[in-house]
Structure 1
Amino acid sequence: MPMANAEPGVPSDRLRIGFVLARSFTLSAFALFVDTLRLASDEFDRSGRVLADWEVLGSTRHLITSSCGVKVAATSDFVDPGRFHYIAVVGGLLNNDTVIDRDTEDYLKTAAAKKVRLLGICTGTFILAELGLMNGHRTCVSWLHYNAFRQRFPDLPVRSDRIFNLDRTRGSCAGGSSAADMAATIVRRHISKKAERNALEVLHIEKARTGLAIQTRQPLSIEVRDPRLRAVLIMMESHVEGTVEIAELASSVGLSRRQLERLFMSETNASPAAIYRRVRLERARQLILTTKAPLIEIALEVGFENASHFSRAFSKTFGQSPTRLRSQPVE
């Protein structure tokens, strides 16, 4: 069966994806992505490489240890990257200084030069960004890794509210189950809806989520029903320094400022600006209770210019000053 949307110079008979596994890669993200591909490639659960093909690429055949300790061997050397429609880099733990070797770095740069689409799975986006391969592309990362990404790559646009993003010749996903959603989207685009449906049914996934789906995360401090408001709250919590304008928050979810204000008033009986301040003060309260950081440092971190302004806003919201809260014994 010919593959739809084939590009010049790329084999058109099957969807071909190469995987690069970083040291301490996330096994679940890799397994969900490759199994979605495997099950879409053949009917039922026969696992034939009929409509798709895949390889784990490596500079050596040494076993690669995942973050849970399970080891995976490369199935192919670094063959011509032009043989693949996508090369997916699967990351994992961020506490390793060297997660890929120099040969792997060179291979990914060669793939980018040949216009092969590159995917960052889980923290694989950190690897691509470190190599300068995410410049000019929007990146999606887990909310868990959002601040680390901003600190390391302050000039790159990134968001932590969506589960994945496919941006021209780059893709990125938050990891975990979102790897299956991204893989399903690629299968639907390049093979067929039938192939996608077959994969999801065998995986017992009722329906693939789109790139607009909101990340599942720890409960927000303010409960809302509308998914657009949940996305805005995640952005607020990711920018507790208060630097994001309300209009920008609205635009990020496809709303005007006035529409966002109406939605917040409807669900919370408060304006977006008031909710944003509440989110910042909630973060300050957490820092007061869990750290020994000076109050002025906490005030600056959550976007207040001086300690007195911070103390007044904190007292009005929580009924006691930051100093008094810190002086209370921990129960």
Structure 2
Amino acid sequence: MLPVASHEPLSVGFVLLNRFTLLPFAAFVDCLRLAADEGDRSRQLRCHWTFMTSTGEQATSSCGAAISPCEPFRDPASFDYIVVIGGVQDERDRVDSTALAYLRRSADTGVPLVGLCTGVFALIQAGLMKGRRCCVSWYHHRDMIQRFPAIEPVADRLFIDDGDRLTCAGGAAGADLAAYLIERHLGKAWAMKSLHIMLLDEARTGGHPQPQPVVFGKIEDRLVRKAIALLEQHLGEMISMEVLAERVGTSRRNLERRFKETLGVSPQKFSRDLRLRYGVWLLHYTGKSITEIGERCGFADTAHFSRHFRSAFGMTPSEMRKSVSEPGGARVDPFFLHVEGRPAL
């Protein structure tokens, strides 16, 4: 439960790492901005924020947009929270040792640290997440397991409040976490004011599930991994095998051979099974109709969706929805399609 709002100004310091992700930063800071003042006047009255980099120079985001002005790192004690926002993970060897040292100093000062999006990787690199769960986007789950096997990543929720460590999956959930902190410090009215101006109905809780019908498991074949990533990004549509093969730079015949060797199934079946898992997730966590779910999963019609669903899970979508709503009812894990050796479906 959130503590009673203090109505003291909320002060947040942002540590922007190289090529930081723009959306979670923008969602978080704009929620602060809108709660800081009446209307949309942007004066830093109820909320204060400071952008910081190791050099004090402008920060460049992953999309190329630059944030300025930025300052060198301030005394951590001047902030209620310090939010670190990480960059793209193909630059994992580029470590900002100055920023990591600042995060460690902030932790020693007792200031709560927020790992936003891939900012959680920086907290881990700084040695500040030992023995703690950390929230991560499903998209980065596999990378975290491979790079930091001693860390427990959580990819089935939007954010985790662990007292002096808060971690958030990123994306639009940055607004949810910001609203959570605004409500804590300023009261619910200010949090709702921000969200409504941002055209959001209400803040989602930290335990709200991520939309993540994702493949977890170790896949050695680089071409197969690339094809799966594309399939994950296009769950709502049928991608022809010719188009998929072209996108990953190979022939259809070679793609089908590689899937058979790696996973034991064709890419067509793997794609369908992945979309069916998405349907399970939608049945579990949304109120969408069976027809809407079938369309969202890329099936031509409800009959087609229901037929394949029953073949995969032994029950129709309607029967599964009824089952999961009953105490002790059978459940199918909607999150993981394991690929260690063979697909789960």
RMSD: 3.0
Given candidates 190, 193, 212, the residue that maps to 1:195 is 190
Does structure 2 conserve the Cα–Cα contact (< 8 Å) formed by 1:162 and 1:214?
yes
Per the TM alignment, residue 57 of structure 1 is displaced from its structure 2 partner at its CA by: 1.3
Q: Match of 1:23?
A: 18
What per-residue deviation string (whole Å, max 9, x for no partner) do you get for residues 167-209 of structure 1? Answer: 1101111111000000000000011111111111211111110
Does structure 1 conserve the Cα–Cα contact (< 8 Å) formed by 2:12 and 2:83?
yes
Say whether 1:122 aligns with 2:117: yes
Q: Which moved more, 1:173-182 or 1:127-136?
A: 127-136
AA partner of residue 285 (structure 2): P
What per-residue deviation string (whole Å, max 9, x for no partner) do you get for residues 73-95 of structure 1? Answer: 35322111011010000113101
Change (3 A) 1:168 1:91: same
Change (3 A) 1:100 1:74: farther
Unaligned runs of 5+ in 1: 7-11, 229-261, 285-297, 303-313, 318-331
Say whether 1:266 aligns with 2:323: yes
AA partner of residue 152 (structure 1): R
Q: Match of 1:92?
A: 87
Q: Following the alignment from structure 2 to structure 1, what is the Cα–Cα distance between the partners of residues 183 and 174?
A: 14
Say whether 1:211 aligns with 2:269: no
Q: Match of 2:238?
A: none
Q: Match of 1:35?
A: 30
Change (3 A) 1:99 1:86: farther
Given candidates 48, 51, 71, the residue that maps to 2:46 is 51
Per the TM alignment, residue 134 of structure 1 is displaced from its structure 2 partner at its CA by: 1.2
Unaligned runs of 5+ in 2: 214-234, 236-274, 287-318
Q: TM-score, normalised by structure 2?
A: 0.64
Q: Following the alignment from structure 1 to structure 2, what is the Cα–Cα distance between the partners of residues 205 and 99?
A: 36
Say whether 1:137 aligns with 2:140: no
Q: Match of 1:253?
A: none
AA partner of residue 97 (structure 2): R
Number of aligned residues: 246
Q: Match of 1:328?
A: none
Per the TM alignment, residue 268 of structure 1 is displaced from its structure 2 partner at its CA by: 11
Identity %: 36
Per the TM alignment, residue 14 of structure 1 is displaced from its structure 2 partner at its CA by: 1.2
Q: TM-score, normalised by structure 1?
A: 0.67
What per-residue deviation string (whole Å, max 9, x for no partner) do you get for residues 23-77 of structure 1? Answer: 1111111111000001011111011111110001123233322110111235322
AA partner of residue 45 (structure 1): D
Q: Following the alignment from structure 2 to structure 1, what is the Cα–Cα distance between the partners of residues 5 and 151?
A: 29
Q: Following the alignment from structure 2 to structure 1, what is the Cα–Cα distance between the partners of residues 182 and 59?
A: 26
Secondary structure in structure 2 of the residue aligned to 1:187: helix
AA partner of residue 209 (structure 1): R
Say whether 1:227 aligns with 2:285: yes
Q: Following the alignment from structure 2 to structure 1, what is the Cα–Cα distance between the partners of residues 91 and 176?
A: 27
1:1-331 correspondence to structure 2 within 5 Å: 13-218=8-213, 221-222=276-277, 223-224=279-280, 225-227=283-285, 266-267=323-324, 271-272=330-331, 275=332, 283-284=338-339, 299=341
